[in-house]
Chains A and B, each alone.
Chain A
Amino acid sequence: DQQVKQNSPSLSVQEGRISILNCDYTNSMFDYFLWYKKYPAEGPTFLISISSIKDKNEDGRFTVFLNKSAKHLSLHIVPSQPGDSAVYFCAASVGAGSYQLTFGKGTKLSVIP
């Protein structure tokens, strides 16, 4: 049973445009959500996170939105750059000090110059 779902395996966006990556979850106990970025042959890199007490967190070109009632979160990248091309994983945890993250299957983003 996939508790964190990323239904789009891939996404192509023109450079300079907005990239929107979506993630849905089923476990209502999750209260921390994270996005990781992964390049080939490298481990995932932490990008941005959000607590369930917020609905938005922004860090430079990256913004994460959380809709608790819909159990949905999204990552917006504006403007998209070719270097953003990577696989993006959504992850969730129960508790700020959790030892376990539950990952989605990832979305491969391609930013076209």
Chain B
Amino acid sequence: AAGVIQSPRHLIKEKRETATLKCYPIPRHDTVYWYQQGPGQDPQFLISFYEKMQSDKGSIPDRFSAQQFSDYHSELNMSSLELGDSALYFCASSWGGGGMAGYTFGSGTRLTVV
């Protein structure tokens, strides 16, 4: 079965550079979520989109922006990267909100800022 696809799997950027992470949800899923997991930390909710509109916002820095496109894929844009942005970024998708049924996560993008 098709899963949530994230690209790239690994990304190395320098401080102050820009990064774009992509997420392709499971077909027919209309909701996409972004989470950030720092080393030894729990996944922290960043932002979510339902039907191409922002549905909820968490601890996403102002330097980051995201959107969901007409084909339901989503991109997380990160500018003026800082060393502390180094983390595993997970995307997840669901049909509608995932409070009870949970979401399906992708394998994540590991971002390293040097």
Contacts and interface: CB of A to CB of B under 8 A. Distances in A.
A70 interface: no
Interface in A81-113: 89, 93-106
Contacts of A98: 56, 97-99
A99 B33 contact: yes
Nearest to A105: B42
B4 interface: yes
Contacts of A103: 35, 42-44
B106 interface: yes
A89 B42 contact: yes
A34 B104 CA distance: 12
Contact of B45 (A49, A95, A100): A100
B90 interface: yes
Contact of B42 (A34, A41, A100, A104): A104
A42 B9 CA distance: 11
B48 interface: yes
Contact of B90 (A34, A44, A102, A104): A44
Interface of A: 4, 32, 34, 36, 41-46, 49, 51, 89, 93-106
25 contacts: A36-B105, A41-B107, A42-B108, A43-B106, A43-B107, A44-B43, A44-B90, A44-B105, A46-B101, A46-B103, A51-B100, A89-B42, A93-B100, A94-B99, A99-B31, A99-B50, A99-B55, A99-B97, A99-B98, A99-B99, A100-B33, A100-B45, A100-B58, A103-B43, A106-B42
